[in-house]
Amino acid sequence: MFHQWILSLWRTVVPSVVGGVLGWLTLHGIIIEGLTAEQISMGAVMFGTGIYYGLVRALEQRWPLLGVLLGSTTAPTYKESSHPGVHAGREL
């Protein structure tokens, strides 16, 4: 179970690093009147991370080897547990 936790953490960290690099790159050349460099960078990090992760996960469904772009070609598996919104087979 601990290995799966590390794997899921790693596959979250890698897209965050990519988003950070995108944010860093925006600090070197993009100027938008009314916004500070930090605001532009923060937006690029958030947007870049989300787009990168979503795109790679979608492509990974078709071509599993592309999972390496998330840090590992192995997706974590999660133990099934009861969903907090379901009780005895019925929606709450």
Residue pair 41/49 in contact (Cβ under 8 Å)? The answer is no
Neighbours of 28 (CB within 10 A): 8
Reported pTM: 0.64
27 to 16, 17, 36, 50: CA distances (angstroms): 17, 15, 10, 19
**Residue 27 DSSP class:** T
Residue 23 is predicted with a pLDDT of: 79
Tokens 């133990």 — which residue? 79
Residue 82 has pLDDT above 60, yes or no: no
| H/E stretch holding 23 | helix 2-26
**pLDDT over threshold 80, residue 47:** yes
